[in-house]
Amino acid sequence: MFQDSGIANSIEFLSSWKTETQFSEGGTQTSEIVIDHKETQSHATADAVCQTEEVIPDEIVIEDDSPELLSFLLHVEEDVTAQLLRNAQSHAFDGYDVIWGDESSSVTCTHSLAHADIKGTLEVTSVSWNSTGSVVLAGYGKHDIEGFCTEKGFMCSWNIDRRNVKADKPDTVIEFPSCVVSVEAHPSKPGLTAVGTFNGVVFLVDTAQASGMEVVYNSPQDGKCHTEPISQMKWLVNSDVHRRETYQLVTVGGDGKVLVWDYSAPRTGATLTLGARHLVKTKDVPGFGAGRDRRAAMDVELGLTSVSFSCENNSTFVTGTDSGGVLKCGLKNDAPRLVGAAGIDLGESSPVTLPFASHGGPVYSVASSPFHRNMFLTASTDGTVRLYSHLDTKPLLIVEPGGGYLFDVEWSISRPMVFWASTSDGRILVYDLNASRLKPVASLEVSAKGTPVYCTSRNSQRPRLLASGDGEGQIKIWNLSDELAKDQGSELQALNDMDV
């Protein structure tokens, strides 16, 4: 049945259960994609602003006469009153002043003002801010006049809050028969300004008159009043038992006189009423005649250059003299009235109560601290700024800026430890006693030509603003930095610690 493999034909056994797989080939193709390029452009657009009207809600007053509310108020009245009294006696926020506005880290000059017709011919002798803090006033004159003055003087004003401030054209200009030496704005009447002239006449100018700027008062011209330039003026505010405020104007001059003028409602063309007269003579200053012929100096008047009142006492003031003296004075001094030749009563008394250590040159500026009743600064042509206390005749601190003569010194209105001084080389040097007692923290270049900066004025309503006037007839408004304008805390205590 089976044989060897040598059989020529092979035998194959096919599977009876597995089927053979069949294959076939096919193909497919998608439709062709057609691409087309086209351009498109968006429509033009425009922006518009819409503002709704301010909606002022009606005031809703809810009345509640319920006995429960009355009972509650009567129950807490005693505790609330006691707490309010404690708050009124607290000094936690003394010296703190909120400063609204954008923060600034540098001092900038915001305005440079000048009267184009007199720029370069007259100097800015005095600057002052009105009671609203928006108008700066400047007096124009000369410092190198000897004898009687025949030059005309001017007082100009600019409102820096106006939209278009004209830097070379003042809002108001008034002319005076002699050079203007000092200007002092009224502390509460925005339009009223006192003007002191070289020839010793005091004018009160009111810019709030319906007909424009008018001179409403002027001082009489006789031997009882000033016969020399009126160096400086200060307004005094007094209150009676009914809390009604009255005002007096105090003037000092190169004739040694301290005059107190009474002020009432303005009447055009009226004459100022002289309320009190004081006279500073060399014999009233202890030690003045040392090494000199005292008899020859007995009746010599001391030229007064500046005046500043204590922040807490309207009767106490400090004055500087053209001989370098620094004198503490009082308006209510009980010293005997001065008697002249042949026993004639001069109607004047000496206000001097205490002399301080003198400077080596004329004292052109004194400034009492607005925060401390005893502290005051002086600036002199000897190139030093001195810090004094009413409790010691010797200075507590002497600063030598090295900028030549010093013409003005003033405290910050918001920081108890900050003050500045103006120099004869065209700068304002700002000092922060918290940072350094010897070096200024800022130096403001007022005049590029290096002409003297004769006067500065702080703004009592806006602590950041400082005005300066120079020998070129230019007024600049400076915006102080936050560091120099905002209270840093504990400054008043630091100033107290410097006092003896």
CA–CA separation, 261 vs 499, rounded Å? Answer: 33
What pLDDT score was predicted for residue 433? Answer: 92
What range does the domain containing 126 cover?
Answer: 116-219
For CA atoms 138, 140, 145, 151, give the dihedral sign.
Answer: negative
Confidence of residue 178 (pLDDT cuts 50, 70, 90): very high
Give the model confidence (pLDDT) of 149-158 as tens digits.
888 999 999 9
What pLDDT score was predicted for residue 112? Answer: 95
Do residues 452 and 423 lie in contact, with contact meaning Cβ atoms separated by under 8 Å? Answer: yes
Answer whether residue 138 is part of any domain: yes
Do residues 171 and 158 lie in contact, with contact meaning Cβ atoms separated by under 8 Å? Answer: yes
What pLDDT score was predicted for residue 10? Answer: 63
Percent of the chain surpassing pLDDT 90: 48
Percent of the chain surpassing pLDDT 70: 78
CA–CA separation, 282 vs 322, rounded Å? Answer: 12
Do residues 484 and 430 lie in contact, with contact meaning Cβ atoms separated by under 8 Å? Answer: yes
Ramachandran angles phi, psi of 173, nearest 5°: -140, 130
Answer whether residue 140 is part of any domain: yes
Instruction: Indicate the range of 202-211, 417-426, 449-458, 466-475 predicted with least confidence.
Output: 202-211
> Is the per-residue pLDDT at 329 higher than 80?
yes
CA–CA separation, 355 vs 302, rounded Å? Answer: 13
Confidence of residue 210 (pLDDT cuts 50, 70, 90): low
CA–CA separation, 453 vs 426, rounded Å? Answer: 5
Please tell me which residue, 91 or 59, carries the higher pLDDT value.
91
What is the residue whose two structure tokens read 């007024």? 475
CA–CA separation, 398 vs 400, rounded Å? Answer: 7
Give the model confidence (pLDDT) of 72-110 as tens digits.
989 999 999 988 888 887 766 655 555 555 555 588 999
Q: How many Cα atoms are found within 13 Å in the side-chain-facing hemisphere of 402?
A: 4
Please tell me which residue, 287 or 181, carries the higher pLDDT value.
181
Answer whether residue 254 is part of any domain: no
Give the model confidence (pLDDT) of 212-246 as tens digits.
556 777 787 777 889 899 999 999 988 765 667 78
What pLDDT score was predicted for residue 257? Answer: 93
Give the model confidence (pLDDT) of 330-345 as tens digits.
987 554 454 444 444 4
For the entire predicted model, the pTM comes to 0.74
> Cα angle at 418 between 431 and 395, to 5 degrees?
75
**Number of structural domains in the chain:** 1
What pLDDT score was predicted for residue 374? Answer: 93
Confidence of residue 1 (pLDDT cuts 50, 70, 90): low
What pLDDT score was predicted for residue 339? Answer: 45
Give the model confidence (pLDDT) of 102-143 as tens digits.
555 588 999 999 999 888 899 999 999 999 999 999 999 998
> Is the per-residue pLDDT at 4 higher than 50?
yes
- CA distances for 317 relative to 108, 236, 410, angstroms: 33, 11, 15
What pLDDT score was predicted for residue 150? Answer: 83
What pLDDT score was predicted for residue 416? Answer: 93
Range among 194-208, 233-247, 369-383 with highest mean pLDDT value: 369-383
Kindly tell me the burial class for residue 363, based on how many C-beta atoms sit within 10 Å of its own C-beta (0-12, 13-18, 19 or more).
buried
What is the residue whose two structure tokens read 């106006």? 162
Kindly tell me the burial class for residue 463, based on how many C-beta atoms sit within 10 Å of its own C-beta (0-12, 13-18, 19 or more).
buried
Pair of tokens at residue 279: 């006279």
Q: Which of 246, 235, 325 is nearest to 288 (CA)?
A: 325
What pLDDT score was predicted for residue 458? Answer: 94
